[in-house]
Each structure stands twice: as C-alpha cells, then as structure tokens.
C-alpha cells in the first residue's frame, strides 16, 4: 500500500483577477520507504505542495491521504497529534530552539507528546548523526551542517512514517550537504521512512529514488532514478 | 549553561525556565511591571491594614478590648453566659450609679484629700485584659487594699504601700495603696480627680455602707474575630437580651470586620478601587510586553506547531512563561511593599504623629501580602491570555516560510502623501498593529484619567479641610453670647504682641431680619476686614470681590447648600439694600446653618449697624511663636471664650499632607508605569522590525531618518493616548466637580490647566525616553548585523 496518496490537489490564492493558481490538480502516490526529490524553479509551487503534504496549509480542492487517512478530514486537534506522530519536518533554516541543547532539541517533539524519550533510540540517533560528542552543545556552538543534523534528529525521534524536508541543504556547503543527505538516507533506510525533499541541487536530486518536478503548479513525474539516467 | 540545562528537560514546559534564563534581559521590563503592581498593592493593603490596626489599638485604648458589655442581666444568667466556650474574657465591673455623670461642681461624695474619686469594684481581668492599663504594683489582694490611677501619685503625693483615706457620705475608710494603673487621664482631668479600683467584695462593703445603688456590668470578649456577628447574635437570642441589656463596642467591632462602623467600611472599598486600578494598568502594561514578545517569535511558535505542538500547548507555554516571571517578581514586590509599609508607618508614627501615633512598626499584613500575590498572578494570567491565543494562532507555515507573519498583517500600504516616507512608516508601524495600539493608548489614557481624577479629588479634600485655608486661626477669642461685645481695642493689643502674624476681628449679627430679593427673611450678617477679604481671593467661586471693599453697597456670601444666595441677589438689611457681588466657596460664615450668611466689609457693617466692637477675634501666629505670647492672648481674652486650635489644625494639615503625598506617590508610580510601558513598547517594536530597519539602512536610510521613524511611532502612541485620556479624563473631572464639589462648595468648573500641562509634559518626557534607547541601539549597530540578526 502507498504511504502517501495525493488526489488532484489544487491550491488557489486570492480570487478573481488576482487569483494565483499555485497548484493545479496534482496527483501522485509514494510507496513506503521511498526517497522522493521535488525539484522546480522558485515560485513553481514546490513549497506549497510540501505544505499541503504536511497539513500546514489546506488545499482548495483535492485530498491528501497518509497511511490511508484523509488528513484534511481530521479536526484541528486530531491533526496536530497526527502530525506530531507521523510527520517529521526539516527546514532550510534549521529552526532549532536556540536555548536548548542538541539533545533537548531532539527530544522536544517527544515531550510535546507527553512521552518519555526512548534513551536507547536517542543514543542510536545521536550516533548515526554523529552528534554524540556534541549532545550538550547549544545550536550556536555548532556548524550549519551539525545544526541540520540536529534538525534531522528532531524529525526522526518520533519515528514518523513521512519526513518532509524543504531544501534541507539550502544553507550548507557542498561537503556538508552531501553529508547531511547521506545521513538522511541512511536514517530513513534504517527506520523505513518515506522522505519527500525539495531541492534545487540537481546532484542531490540525482541520489533520490524518484524525482518529481513542479512547474507552474503542474506536477511531472520523472519516475525513478533509472528514468533520468 | 551547558551543564545547568543538562538533562533538566522532563516535559515540554521545561523549555520555559531555560528560555527565561537565557532571555533574562528581554523579560526585564515585564518583571519590573509585575514587581511594581505587586509592590503597589502590597504596600497599599498593608498600609490600610496597619491603619486599621492602629485605629483598633486606639479604640482599645479608648474604649477597652471587649466586644460586648452587658448590664441589668440577672446574675445567674450572666454566670451561665460567661461559661460559654466561645468566650475568651469575661470581666465584672461595679460602679456606683450616677456618680460619673455628676459634674465637677457637685458635692464631693467620694473623695481623697478633697479630690473627687470615682470608685470601681472590678475583677483583675477587667484592668488587665479589657482595659489593658499598664500597671505598677499589684491588684488589691484583700479588703484593705486599693488601686489608684497613676495620676494620683502626683495628685496626692503618694506611692505604693502608702495609705489613703477615702471620704464617703457614710464616713472614712482607710486603705493601703497596692499599686497604680495608667488609666484614662483625660477622664481624670474632667472629673478633676482620679479613679480608684478595689475588688468586688470591698466595693460591696463600701457601697453597702453608703446604701448606694451599684450597677453591675459584664465585659465580654469572644475568642476569635471570625464570626463575631454570629456569636453576638447567638448570645442575644439565647439569653433574650435587648439593646438595653447589651451594648456593642462599636469601635473595636467595626475594625474587626464585624462592621457596623463606617471607618472600616470606607477604607476597604478605597483600597479595592486602587486594587482594580492597579490591576487594569498592570494588565495593560504586561499584556503589551508579552504581546510584543510573542510577535517577535512568530517563527518560533510556527516551528513548535510544525514539530507537533498543539494550540493548547503553545498557549500553555506562553502562560507558563508569564507565570515564570512571577516566581521572582512577586516575592520581590511583596518584600518591597512590606518594607515601604514599614517605612511609611515609621514616618507617620514618629514624624507626622497626630492620629498616627498608634501605627504599628514592623507589622506584616497577611491581607497586604495575599493581595499582592493575588494581583501579581491575576494580572499576569489575564495579561497573558490574549498573547497566548495570538501565539496559538500562529500558522505552522510561518516556520517554513520565514516572513509569513510580518507580511500577512499588512493590509494597507502606507500613505506617503502627507509626511515624508520615514515619518509615514513610523506612523504606519504604530497604527498597523491594532491591538498593540489599543493597549498602549489604553494605558496612556488610563494614567491621564487617573491624574485628572486625582487632581479633582485633591481639590475636594482641600475644600473639606478648611484648616488648610490661609485664614484658619491658631487661636480664637469668642464672646460668650455671640454678641459684638469684645472691645475693638483688644484687637490692637493682640496685633502688637510679638509673634502675632495676623489678628483679625469679625462682627456678627445672627439671624438679622432682612429682605432677600423682596421676601422677608433673615440672614447672618458678618464683617470681614481687609486681610480676610484679601485672603478670600483664593476661594472665589463666582463674582467680583473688589466691589465689596470699603464702604460700599455690595456684600459677599459663602456658598451654602441650603438657603443659597447668588451673585446679583439683593438683600435689604436695616433699611439699606446690599447687592451680592461675590460668592466664596469657603470661608468663615454660615453660623445658623440653614439661613444664608451675608458678609460685608467692616466699614459697610458699621454703616449698617453702627457697631464697632467684635464678636470674634482670630489670631494667626508666626511659625515659632513663644508660649508666652499665646498665654498673653489667653490672658487678654479675660472672660471671653478662648480656643486654641493649633494642635487640632496641625493634625488636620498633616493628615491632608499625608493624603496628598500618598495620592501623588501613587500617581507618580502610575505615571512611571506609563513611561516604562511606552518605552518598552517602542523598544519591542524596534526589535521586532530590526531586520526591516537594517534593510532600510542598507538601501540608504540615514540614522537621523531611523530616529525620526521611531519618533513618529512613539508620537503616534502618545497623541492617541493623550487625546483619549484627556477626553475621558476631563469628562470624569467635570463629573466629579459637578457632583461633589459644586453642589457642596459652589463655584464653576474650569478646565484644569495646570494638571493638563503636567500631563503633556509627562507625555513628552516619556516619548523622548522611549525613543532614545532604541534609536541609539539602531545607530550603534552595523547594517550587516541588523540584516543578519535572527
């Protein structure tokens, strides 16, 4: 079964003459464990698409199903909890909480769920992300790459089935970028997670299992890596 | 930091204290605001409590520490009542009937060495527990001992152990003095003697021998102050007591809260009003602090929402942040409040004295501290509510798309037609955030309204306390029968004494027949000399005072609620018509109460009545007058009545000043809060837009333009606040004047120019102060720094 199913999602901002059609009848589905890259020019509608997938924004038409559940049919509170447990976000600007340490930043979503963090899993994550040494550091004491790895850790700690990443390497140099992507892939493979990642970097897109391109709100599926090559 | 936060995160709310530690500086203003609110309420309620405590001490000293007094109740019933479990103290007192009422000129029935004594048969508890008289020696142990007032020591030249002889109608009785107690020396002075206390049996013998009726009274004190009303009602019903049998100690009861007295009823509502005012201004200022704080962290809240925080959790975080500040701010505020209460009590007790001598020194008021804590928590909770909701509303998209927040709020483009672009932007910044504008305008307006209300209140107090007027005399000489029988030569003699600043006489004819506007009636006719007329200028309510001087056809009157005269009214006295040229709001006049008083110059009075002597001569002394001068005036008074008002007046004046200082201090703090508030708001607003400002500077905005932009924002707040405040404030001022002042003291309402000037000055100062720091911060910052600051 597909983990993610997008059914003719459209999004229009404004109305009448000033209406902007950000997404036009976008449909696709992603099976569990796939690593999908979304590419497209600035303003093409990639971020809007990602916001829909993460239930941050509501579509004008259409449905998004995650694990078979229509996320826009859920009530606000239900959706919050669903998002908390099933979707992990990684931002371009890291968005770490500056006053919390690496470890605290990572476990924060678990605390929001009133759970106790699983120590063993945390240690494992820290090790995978190569942050064990820096666990008590503040974000300001880390490099960009390290900060993004913390953000990845935070996205992984709840073991979400879907990870949405909006240009996670946008603020990183090439070495850090490939490092972060490698970590992301390794982690997702290990924990069987689906990743949808927006990127401008075609090199990074190449490493994905599948590439989707958004152009003027219309989605084109380039299929698996094989198709491109 | 690294170690302190290590492993300390147990719940998501754990972020609150950690974040607070890091952002200590940002929350400083908010904490100061909370401290201020808590401090004000604690100090105010503590002072009210201390004042009531002092009143209670005074009441107990004057009336005794008991709740009810019973008389004419059968003894068996009384004994039964005294055994009740809720009664703390019950004391019996016997007094020979009617002796206290006899005045000093009556026969000396009971005396020691020809000095009247008032005999009491008492139980020891009465002196020790009810009256709490400090005692020297012991209570009479047998029928040969007697206890006397301390005044007796000087009066009779005796000491403990000496023997005294009590003369009674039935013969002489000898007693040994077992001790002295410091009882009511005022009473002793009135009876020109002292009190003598003996045990019940000894008293029984002496009253029996004299076959006197003695009245037996029981003084009862209940165990606790709580439910006193109920306890008293129970006793009354159970033993079928009437008002005649039972008398309440109103002074003490009233102050214990089982109130039937006015004092306690009056002070708590006043304190409650102040509580509400502080609460409102506290809510306004703290709310605007938290609001800006939240506005700056849109992205943070959006991110929290992205990683799974629910709206409730965000609200909880914001509330917890606010309550977290209380953790330190409330204790600090309470301590400050208690300490300033101590200071104020000490000042009142040792420097102001008068009615404040009983102020407790190091009293800790539970009510004060409790209300301080309450105001702190309630203010913060109310203040945090709206911003918390605001924060919860932040869309998770805000985190993904960085600037979503600041762009979304802008609905209209700034209109650059009227001002230069930087000024327009500043104004736009102020009015685009409606809630913030409302809060700041509100807190500004509130301070201005309060200032105007206080100013009106002080005017009322000044009118209520005539001793604060310039011709309140220190001593006065009055003729015995209210006729003009004091020789006018006396006035000259008094004026010539050294240390006499002014001496002035008043002639008076009470209820002189007169025609008022053609209707027959009567008036109190009085004369003012030139000094009094000059001094009356300050209290002119309406009309022209200058017409009254010299031999004229004009008179003035003092405003009275009852039979009032107005400017232009015609009064015919002794066949001559006088026109009222002026109405004073207060002055010496109105002797007969409901009939109008007409005041004219000495010359006019003489022409009308032919009388040249005085009914009253008033004297004002210079500040450090010798007692000999006062005595000289007393001697000159001869058979006329002599009253010395100095002490009483100085008490009134000091009370007035205490009130004034307290009112202005309260006001100053509220004004201070406003200034802090606007400073805080501007600073927050600048911080929130720091990147924008950086970008503007990067594209060529000068430092001076940045300053102008910030100034425009501050001025917008100030103008809105001032307009709202002045409109509402003047309305209140007018209403207070109309309802309270004009109906009681006459006069007309005038725009209070001085307070308004003061207010505008305050507003100006707060604008300057508010702009200075943020503008400097911007100037000192590198452009690149402001762009990159996140």
Q: What is the pLDDT of residues B426-456, one digit of tens each?
A: 888 888 778 778 877 887 888 888 888 878 8
The pLDDT value given to residue B405: 40
pLDDT for B8 equals 60
Q: What percent of chain B has pLDDT over 90?
A: 2
How far apart (Å, rounded) are the C-alpha atoms in residues B210 and B567?
Answer: 68
Mean pLDDT of chain B: 78
pLDDT score recorded for residue B226: 62
Residue B727 pLDDT grade (very low, low, confident, very high; cuts 50, 70, 90): very high
Phi, psi dihedral angles at B310 (to 5 degrees): -85, 170
Q: Is B5 helix (H, G, I), strand (E, B) or coil?
A: coil
Q: Residue B21: list chain A partners with CB under 8 A.
A: 99
| pLDDT at B264 (0 to 100) | 54
Q: For residue B698, what pLDDT is reported? A: 67
Position B789 pLDDT exceeds 70: no
pLDDT at B540: 76
Mean pLDDT value across residues B514-530: 84
Q: Which of A83, A104, A109 lies closest to B9 in CB terms?
A: A104
- The whole-number pLDDT of residue B745 equals 67
Residue B585's closest CA among B530, B523, B542?
Answer: B542
Residue-level pLDDT at B3: 43
φ, ψ (nearest 5 deg) of residue B166: -100, 120
Q: Rounded to a whole number, what is the distance in Å from the CA of B398 to chain A's nearest CA? A: 9
Q: Of B411 and B755, which is predicted with more confidence?
A: B755
Using 50, 70 and 90 to split pLDDT, how confident is the model at A226?
very low
Percent pLDDT > 70 in chain B is: 84
For residues B679 and A60, give the distance between their C-alpha atoms in angstroms, rounded to a whole number.
Answer: 44
Average pLDDT over residues B697-720: 81
| A182 in contact with B, Cβ within 8 Å | no
- Convert the pLDDT of each residue in B634-661 to its tens digit: 888 878 888 877 776 776 777 777 777 7
Shortest CA distance from B20: residue in chain A: A99
Asked if residue B115 has pLDDT above 50, the reply is yes
- If pLDDT is split at 50, 70 and 90, which confidence band does B261 have? very low
Mean predicted confidence (pLDDT) in B673-699: 72
**B22–A98: do the CB atoms touch at under 8 Å?**
yes
Contact A166 B300 (CB under 8 A): no
pLDDT in tens, B297-311: 777 888 888 888 888
Given A77, A137, A154, which is nearest B307 (Cβ)?
Answer: A154
Q: Across residues B505-513, what is the average pLDDT?
A: 84
CB B630 within 8 A of CB B475: yes
Q: Which residue has the higher pLDDT, A30 or B664?
A: A30
Residue A89 has pLDDT above 70, yes or no: yes
* Termini Cα distance of chain B: 21
Q: Which range, A93-107, B271-285, B696-710, has the best average confidence (pLDDT)?
A: A93-107
Segment A61-78, tens digit of pLDDT: 999 999 889 988 988 778
User: Is the predicted pLDDT of residue B256 greater than 70, yes or no?
Assistant: no
Residue B700 pLDDT class (50, 70, 90 cuts): low
* Greatest mean pLDDT range, B566-570, B666-670, B711-715: B711-715
pLDDT at position B471: 63
Tokens matching residue B753? 């120019």
Flag if B308 and A137 touch (Cβ within 8 Å). no
**Residues of A in Cβ contact (< 8 Å) with B396:** 54, 56
On chain B, the residues whose CB falls within 8 A of the CB of A100 are 5, 9, 15, 18
Residues of chain B with C-beta less than 8 angstroms from the C-beta of A153 = none
Is the C-alpha dihedral spanning B28, B32, B38, B42 positive or negative?
Answer: positive
- Residue-wise pLDDT for B689-698, tens only, equals 777 777 677 6
Taking residues B3-25, what's their average pLDDT?
Answer: 69
Long-range contacts of B488-497 (CB under 8 A, 24+ apart): B488/B612, B488/B613, B488/B614, B490/B614, B490/B617, B490/B636, B491/B614, B491/B617, B493/B636, B494/B617, B494/B619, B494/B633, B494/B636, B497/B629, B497/B632, B497/B633
Comparing A72-76, A221-225, B213-217, B283-287, the range with the smallest average pLDDT is: A221-225
pLDDT over threshold 80, residue B25 = no
Name the residue with higher pLDDT: A144 or B260. A144
pLDDT digits (tens, 9 = 90+) for B315-342: 888 888 888 888 888 999 999 999 988 8
Q: Find all residues with CB under 8 Å of B24, minimum gap 6, and list them.
A: none
Contact status of A178 with chain B (Cβ, < 8 Å): no
Quick check: B410 pLDDT over 60?
Answer: no
- Whether B735 shows a pLDDT value over 70: the answer reads yes
pLDDT for position B724: 92
Q: Are A99 and B15 in contact (CB < 8 Å)?
A: yes
pLDDT band at residue B366 under the 50/70/90 scheme:
confident
Higher model confidence: residue B677 or residue A216?
A216
What average pLDDT does range B152-156 have in this prediction? 81
Q: Does position B90 have pLDDT exceeding 70, yes or no?
A: yes
**pLDDT at residue B472 above 80?**
no
Contact B397 A114 (CB under 8 A): no
Identify the pLDDT of residue A205: 87
Residues in chain B: 790
Mutate to test the interface with A, among B12, B308, B321 (most CBs of A within 10 A): B308
CA distances from B305 to A48, A60, A196, B317, B402 (A): 17, 22, 19, 12, 14
pLDDT of A227 reads 40
Give me the pLDDT at residue B409, please.
44
Residue B462 has what DSSP assignment? H
- Listed range (A9-23, A35-49, A82-96, B52-66) with the worst mean pLDDT: B52-66
Question: Do the Cβ atoms of B303 and A83 come within 8 Å?
Answer: no
User: Which of B2, B307, B400 faces A51 most closely, judged by CB atoms?
Assistant: B400
pLDDT at B528: 87
Q: Which residue has the tokens 């559940």?
A: A69
Q: Do residues B406 and B684 touch, judged by C-beta distance below 8 A?
A: no
């Amino acid at each position: 079964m597909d983990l993610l199913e997008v059914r003719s999602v459209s999004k229009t901002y404004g109305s009448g003459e000033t209406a902007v059609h950000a997404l036009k009848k976008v449909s696709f589905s992603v099976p569990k464990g796939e690593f999908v890259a979304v590419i497209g020019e600035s303003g093409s509608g990639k971020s809007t698409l990602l916001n829909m997938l993460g239930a941050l924004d509501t579509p004008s038409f259409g449905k998004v199903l995650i694990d078979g559940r229509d996320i826009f049919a859920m009530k606000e509170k239900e959706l919050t909890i669903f998002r908390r447990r099933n979707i992990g976000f990684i931002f371009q600007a890291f968005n770490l909480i500056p006053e919390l340490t690496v470890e605290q930043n990572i476990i924060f979503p678990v605390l929001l769920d009133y759970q106790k963090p699983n120590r063993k899993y945390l240690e494992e994550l820290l090790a995978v992300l190569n942050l064990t040494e820096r666990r008590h550091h503040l974000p300001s004491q880390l490099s960009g790459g390290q900060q993004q790895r913390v953000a990845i850790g935070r996205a992984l700690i709840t073991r979400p089935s879907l990870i949405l990443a909006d240009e996670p390497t946008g603020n990183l140099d090439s070495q850090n970028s490939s490092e972060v992507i490698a970590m992301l892939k390794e982690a997702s493979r290990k924990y069987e997670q689906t990743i949808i990642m927006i990127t401008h970097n075609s090199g990074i897109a190449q490493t994905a299992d599948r590439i989707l391109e958004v152009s003027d709100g219309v989605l084109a599926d380039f299929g698996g890596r094989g198709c491109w090559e | 930091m690294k170690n302190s936060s290590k492993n300390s995160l147990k719940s998501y709310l754990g972020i609150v204290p950690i974040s607070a530690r890091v952002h200590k500086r940002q929350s400083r203003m908010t904490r100061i605001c909370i401290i201020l609110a808590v401090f004000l309420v604690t100090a105010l309620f503590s002072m009210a409590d201390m004042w009531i405590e002092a009143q209670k001490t005074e009441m107990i000293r004057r009336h005794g520490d008991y709740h009810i007094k019973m008389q004419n109740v059968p003894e068996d019933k009384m004994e039964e009542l005294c055994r009740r479990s809720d009664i703390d103290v019950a004391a019996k007192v016997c007094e020979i009937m009617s002796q206290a009422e006899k005045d000093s000129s009556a026969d000396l029935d009971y005396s020691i060495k020809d000095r009247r004594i008032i005999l009491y048969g008492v139980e020891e508890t009465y002196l020790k527990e009810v009256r709490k008289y400090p005692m020297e020696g012991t209570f009479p142990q047998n029928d040969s001992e007697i206890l006397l007032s301390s005044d007796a020591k000087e009066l009779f030249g005796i000491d403990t152990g000496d023997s005294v002889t009590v003369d009674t109608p039935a013969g002489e009785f000898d007693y040994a003095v077992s001790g002295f107690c410091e009882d009511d020396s005022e009473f002793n002075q009135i009876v020109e003697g002292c009190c003598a206390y003996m045990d019940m049996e000894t008293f029984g013998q002496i009253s029996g021998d004299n076959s006197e009726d003695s009245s037996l009274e029981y003084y009862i004190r209940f165990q606790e102050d709580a439910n006193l009303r109920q306890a008293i009602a129970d006793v009354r019903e159970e033993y079928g007591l009437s008002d005649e049998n039972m008398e309440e100690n109103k002074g003490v009861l009233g102050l214990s809260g089982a109130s039937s007295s006015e004092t306690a009823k009056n002070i708590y509502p006043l304190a409650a009003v102040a509580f509400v005012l502080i609460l409102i201004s506290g809510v306004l200022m703290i709310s605007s602090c938290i609001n800006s704080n939240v506005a700056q962290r849109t992205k943070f809240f959006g991110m929290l929402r992205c990683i799974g925080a629910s709206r409730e959790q965000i609200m909880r975080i914001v509330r917890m942040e606010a309550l977290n500040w209380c953790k330190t701010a409330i204790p600090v505020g309470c301590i400050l409040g208690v300490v300033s209460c101590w200071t104020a009590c000490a000042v009142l007790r040792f420097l102001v004295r008068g009615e404040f001598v009983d102020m407790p020194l190091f009293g800790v008021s539970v009510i004060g501290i409790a209300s301080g804590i309450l105001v702190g928590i309630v203010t913060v909770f109310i203040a945090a509510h709206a911003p918390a909701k605001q924060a919860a509303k932040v869309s998770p998209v805000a985190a993904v798309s960085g600037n979503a927040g600041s762009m979304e709020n802008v609905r209209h483009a700034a209109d650059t037609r009227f001002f230069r672009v930087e000024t327009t932007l500043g104004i736009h910044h102020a009015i685009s955030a409606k809630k913030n504008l409302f809060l700041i305008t509100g807190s500004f307006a509130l301070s201005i309204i309060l200032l105007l209300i206080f100013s009106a209140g002080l005017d009322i107090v000044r009118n209520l306390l005539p001793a604060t007027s310039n011709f309140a005399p220190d001593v006065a000489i009055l003729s015995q029968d209210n006729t003009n029988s004091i020789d006018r030569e006396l006035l000259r003699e008094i004026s010539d004494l050294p240390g006499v600043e002014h001496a002035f006489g008043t002639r008076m004819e009470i209820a002189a027949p007169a025609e008022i506007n053609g209707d027959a009636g009567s008036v109190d006719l009085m004369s003012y000399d030139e000094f009094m007329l000059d001094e009356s200028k300050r209290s002119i309510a309406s009309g022209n005072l200058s017409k009254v001087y010299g031999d004229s056809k004009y008179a003035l009157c003092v405003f009275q609620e009852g039979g009032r005269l107005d400017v232009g009214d015609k009064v015919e006295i002794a066949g001559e018509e006088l026109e009222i040229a002026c109405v004073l709001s207060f002055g010496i006049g109105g002797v007969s109460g409901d009939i109008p008083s007409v005041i004219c110059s000495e010359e006019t009075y003489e022409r009308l009545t032919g009388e040249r002597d005085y009914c009253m001569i008033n004297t004002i002394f210079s500040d450090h007058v010798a007692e000999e001068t006062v005595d000289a005036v007393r001697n000159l008074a001869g058979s006329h009545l002599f009253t010395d008002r100095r002490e009483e007046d100085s008490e009134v004046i000091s009370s007035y000043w205490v009130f004034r200082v307290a009112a202005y201090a309260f006001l100053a703090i509220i004004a201070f809060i406003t200034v802090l508030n606007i400073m805080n708001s501007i600073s927050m607003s600048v911080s929130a837009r720091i990147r924008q400002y950086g970008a503007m500077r990067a594209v060529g905005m000068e430092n001076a333009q940045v300053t102008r932009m910030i100034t425009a924002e501050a001025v917008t707040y100030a103008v809105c606040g001032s307009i709202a405040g002045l409109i509402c404030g003047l309305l209140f001022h007018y209403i207070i004047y109309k309802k309270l002042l004009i109906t009681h003291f006459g006069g007309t309402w005038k725009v209070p120019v001085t307070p308004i000037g003061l207010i505008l000055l305050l507003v100006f100062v707060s604008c300057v102060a508010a702009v200075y720091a943020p503008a400097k911060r911007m100037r000192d910052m590198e452009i690149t720094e402001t762009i990159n600051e996140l």
